[in-house]
A and B are shown apart, each in its own frame.
Chain A
Amino acid sequence: MSLRRVWVQCIKELVEFRRDRLTLALAFALPVGMLLIFGMAIRLQITNIPVGVQDFDRSPFSRDFISRINASRELVAVPEPLDRSPMSLLDRGNVSATIVIPPGTQQALAAGRPAPIQSLVDATDVVNALSIKQILTATCAFVGATYAPASAQPTVDLHERIWFNPGGNEALFIVPGVYAVILAMYPTLLAAIAMVRDKERGTIVQAYASRLRASELIAGKCLALECIGLAEGLAIMAIGFAVWGVRFAGDPLPLLIGTPLLVCCQVLLGLLIGARTNTVTSAIQASGSVNSLVSVLLSGFLYPVTSMPLVFQWLSYIVPARHYINITRDAFVRGAGWPGVWTEVLALAIIASVLAVGTWLSMRRMQMAD
């Protein structure tokens, strides 16, 4: 392997990349736009969900109950006319749940008789439905305690603490995840295009004819795209710091080693896809849609991996973004450093080596000398 040939190949790639103004602009504009949209707009925590209340009781209790619902960040009580059926209210779609406070609820409570509060919850959004259930149950327990004679039984007091992000600042959860998703998507896309473009234009024949070896071609392209990927990473992390103040919570070393490894995995995957496909369109289909979807959904970026069916949990171990997301979240939020994430860094290194061998093998199939 000649280092000079690798270097020349790398320079050639970078020059080509720089000349294509639109690709250059999109390679940076796309990730930044994605980061901004995710960081600013995407919130999984429910807030201000409208809940229709039909208050037949009209007592101090029912007023208390309604103000207690409004006091939660999650729900907003909307008074509804008493003559509409709860189902028709949900059908209209203006409220996500209806609550019926039957007449005589306060008296029943004071007398210690059971007082059911009826609620119909729109379960088209499953998370909303469950959260509404949790909030209503907690509200009933809280308000019920003040209006009904307390039970004498001793109870358990649960002291819940949420560590590392006690304010529940969702940007702190979303933004480090977006870093991983972006670095999993774009380097792969650019690498696949860089590889297949030579084939589509027929310029790959020149590489066949030259003394360039498969390993040198891969190393050169990989080096160039690694630089581009790292530049993308640097750009988005700088913006993350500037806009949301996302900064290192602990030892940055795992991130500093993990990022080049992840970019390397993704670039190799892109080259592999490029070597296996023949047109830019199909290369982009494979790397753009399949890889992006897998990286977003199997990495635990939005929904926890542990909630998925077992098969998908196993499958997720070969997704580089899944390992890298733990590294970024640790580096920027938890701050535990090596003890928490050394396995993830190791996994990335293993995936990178497997992909390197795979890419090399498929290049050899493309009539290249070893």
Chain B
Amino acid sequence: MSSAFSWRRLFVLLRKEFVQILGNRQVLYILLFPPIVQVTILGYAMNPLVKHLAFAVVDESKTPASRRLIDAFTSNGVFVPQGGGDDAASVYRAVQSGTVDAGLVIPVDYAQTMARGEPGNVQLVFDGVNSFTANLGAGYATLIVQDYNARGEPSTPLSPQITFAYNPGLVTAWFFVPGLLGAILMITGLLASASESVREKDEGTLEQLLMTPASSLEVLLAKIGPLFVLFIIALMASLAASRLLFGLPFRGDFLLFMGISSVYIVAAISIGILISTFAATQQQVVLISIFTALPLMMLSGAFAPIESMPPFWQTLSLVNPLRHYITIVRDILLKGVGLDVIWPNVLALVAFAIVAIWISATRYRSQLR
């Protein structure tokens, strides 16, 4: 069995792992390239807000009043007029076949009823197949009509004065980049560390490694080392790219952020090594990694809000390191708050990293039996 922990052995092992990884161009490319590219491309492409809804209009009234209403709908880019029709039935058909997302029907007597001082009835149908889009669109439509009714002056003296904190321009990339950073570090970290350490098993060099006086902990720390350095580089590069492209702010403490990110990266790598102790081949490693990473990503709040999940899943997400990391990144980057607010998340993350290393160190030596 191994002797006490030795820095010299760790250093030698670290050198071996660094030489091994730096010698493999393809691995370097796979580790560094995707995080940076994915964060920037996805941060640019993903937009949960509703824009450019295809919108069919039938204006049976054909009066200046009805045209003003249509202008109100189409002037802000949410609804884009696309075709239309002569009668309500053709608009309904367009919505029914899915060629447009929404249809507006202004009845023949619209102008007359309004002139009589009665409310004019206008119908707006949404294709609810995408219920999320339909709901957001319906919300916009309500606001548009409220504005139209007010005709410049407030219809009721009660008006909300709403200020958006932390992200006044509602830049969607600011919301997505922290989630993407966490998710991509997790999935690449898992895959890379799991397949790097199962290769040792594949090539039969694991026996040699375990026969040396080095302890499991030393071997593991040496395996974590080079990947850790690469992921820190990838993280900094992704952050720099997001700052350049999206103006992503960094309002909090940089050292605190890097410290917590280090803990998180170690946790992701340790989970990967843990996976490798269960798998015999590369193929199994990858399938198990994806199986682990997908639920972690889905239940993290990176893409879908945690508050909206059923209570059971919300509780479950508390053991998800990704969830805590994303909360921390958003808090530090966008809100600029410190440890006094995020300490519960940091605590959870540290606990997670320690448990993950401990279990994989325990399993690492016994995996050959």
Q: Do A and B interact with each other, yes or no?
A: yes
A92: chain B residues within 8 A (beta carbon): 341
**In angstroms, how far is the closest chain A Cβ from the Cβ of B289?**
9
Tell me, yes or no, whether B170 is within 8 Å of chain A by CB: yes
- List 23 interface pairs A-B (beta carbons < 8 Å), by A numbering: A26-B288, A90-B166, A120-B163, A129-B170, A130-B139, A140-B158, A144-B156, A144-B157, A144-B159, A154-B120, A156-B69, A157-B122, A159-B121, A161-B123, A162-B135, A162-B138, A189-B290, A280-B286, A300-B130, A302-B48, A304-B50, A307-B48, A309-B45
Say yes or no: is A197 at the interface (Cβ < 8 Å to chain B): yes
Report A-chain residues with C-beta under 8 Å of the C-beta of B114. 154, 156
Q: Which of A41, A144, A193 has the most CB of B within 10 A?
A: A41
Contact B69 A159 (CB under 8 A): no
Task: Using CB atoms, name the residue of chain B closest to A99.
Answer: B160
Supposing A124-B330, A155-B119, A161-B125 touch, asked if A130 and B308 sit within 8 A by C-beta, the answer is no
Q: Is A30 an interface residue (CB 8 A)?
A: yes
Give chain B's interface residues, CB within 8 Å of chain A.
Answer: 26, 30, 34, 38, 42, 44-54, 69, 95-99, 101, 113-136, 138-143, 145-146, 148-149, 151, 154-168, 170-172, 174-175, 187-188, 191, 195, 279, 282-284, 286-288, 290-291, 294-295, 298-299, 303-305, 307-310, 313, 327, 330-331, 334-335, 337, 341
Q: In the complex, what distance in Å separates the CA atom of A341 from the CA atom of B129?
A: 14
7 tightest A-B contacts by CB? A144-B158, A144-B156, A123-B167, A123-B164, A165-B128, A41-B313, A134-B139
- Chain A residues lying within 8 Å of B334, measured Cβ to Cβ, are 124
Residues of B within 8 A of A26 (CB): 284, 287-288, 291
**A333 contacts partner chain B, Cβ-Cβ < 8 Å:** yes
CB neighbours of A83 from chain B (8 A): none
| A279, B237: Cα distance in complex, Å | 27
In the assembled complex, the CB of A237 is this many whole angstroms from the nearest CB of chain B, namely: 17
Are B163 and A157 in contact, CB atoms less than 8 angstroms apart?
no
A151 within 8 A of B: yes
Does B97 lie within 8 Å of A155, measured CB to CB?
no
Q: Known pairs A41-B298, A130-B49, A165-B129. 4 more at Cβ < 8 A?
A: A42-B309, A122-B165, A307-B52, A341-B98
Query: Is the Cβ of B120 less than 8 Å from the Cβ of A114?
Result: no
Q: Does A49 contact B (CB under 8 A)?
A: yes
CA distance A32 to B350 in the complex (A): 32
The number of chain A residues with a CB under 8 A from chain B is 117
Minimum C-beta distance from A349 to chain B (A)? 19
Q: Which residues of A contact B125 (CB under 8 A)?
A: 160-163
Give the shortest distance, in Å, between A269 (CB) and chain B (any CB).
Answer: 17
Docked CA distance A367–B69 (Å): 66
- Nearest residue, chain A, Cβ from B155: A151
Is A168's CB under 8 angstroms from B165's CB?
no
Of B45, B96, B155, the contact of A163 (CB 8 Å cutoff): B96
Across the interface, do B98 and A114 meet the contact criterion of CB distance under 8 Å?
no
A155 touching B121, Cβ below 8 Å: no
The answer on a CB contact under 8 Å between A46 and B158 is no
A251–chain B nearest beta-carbon distance, Å: 12
Q: Which residue of A lies closest to B337 (CB)?
A: A91
B331 A93 Cβ-Cβ under 8 A: yes
B75 CB to nearest chain A CB (Å): 16
CA–CA, A304 and B126, complex, Å: 14
Decide: A46 and B96 in contact? CB cutoff 8 A.
no
A308 closest partner in B (C-beta): B45
CB of B131 within 8 A of CB of A303, answer no
Select one of A93, A105, A143, A155 contacting B341, CB under 8 A: A93
With a CB–CB cut-off of 8 A, which chain A residues contact B156?
140-141, 144-145, 148, 151
Contact A43 B122 (CB under 8 A): no
Are the C-beta atoms of A23 and B127 separated by less than 8 Å? no
Contact status A165-B164, CB under 8 Å: no
A158 touching B142, Cβ below 8 Å: yes
Contact A340 B97 (CB under 8 A): yes
A20 to B283 alpha-carbon distance, docked (Å): 10
- Per the bound structure, the CA–CA distance linking A279 and B214 in Å amounts to 30
Q: Are A160 and B175 in contact (CB under 8 A)?
A: no
Chain A residue with Cβ nearest B51: A307
Residue of B166, B174, B195 with highest tally of chain A CB at under 10 A = B166
Which residues of chain A (77-124) have a CB below 8 Å from chain B? 87, 90-93, 96, 105, 108-109, 112-124
* Interface residue from A119, A193, A298 paired with B163 (Cβ < 8 Å): A119
CA–CA, A340 to B142, complex, Å? 28
A261-311: which have CB < 8 Å to B?
Answer: 279-282, 284-285, 288-290, 293, 297-298, 300, 302-304, 306-309
Q: Which of A2-10, A169-177, A222-230, A354-362 contacts B (4 or more CB under 8 A)?
A: A169-177
Query: At the interface, yes or no: A339 with Cβ under 8 Å from chain B?
Result: yes
Residue of B nearest to A76 (CB): B307
Interface centre among B52, B125, B127, B157 (most CB of A within 10 A): B157
Q: Verify if A127 is at the interface (C-beta below 8 Å from B).
A: yes
> Given A162-B131, A336-B96: A308 and B47 within 8 A (CB)?
yes
Query: Contact at B98–A340, with CB atoms within 8 Å?
Result: yes
Given A48-B307, A160-B126: A23 touches B119 (CB 8 Å cut-off):
no
Q: Is the CB of A46 within 8 A of B44?
A: no
Is residue A329 within 8 Å, beta carbon to beta carbon, of the partner chain?
A: yes
Q: Evaluate contact between B128 and A288: CB separation under 8 angstroms.
A: no
Would you call A121 and B162 a contact (CB within 8 A)?
yes
Q: How far is the CA of A130 from the CA of B175 in the complex (A)?
A: 13
How far in angstroms is the closest Cβ of chain A from B353?
22
Which residues of the other chain, A, contact B160 by a CB distance below 8 angstroms? 116-119, 133, 136-137, 140
With known contacts A140-B160, A141-B146, A334–B127 Cβ distance under 8 A: yes
With A158-B142, A339-B97 known to touch, is A147 a contact of B158 (CB < 8 Å)?
yes
A127 with B48, Cβ < 8 A, contacts A41-B313, A49-B307, A159-B124 known: yes
In Å, the complex CA distance between A169 and B134 comes to: 12
Beyond A91-B341, A309-B44, whether A42 also contacts B117 by CB under 8 A is: no
Give the residue of A46, A108, A118, A153 whose beta carbon is less than 8 angstroms from that of B149: A153
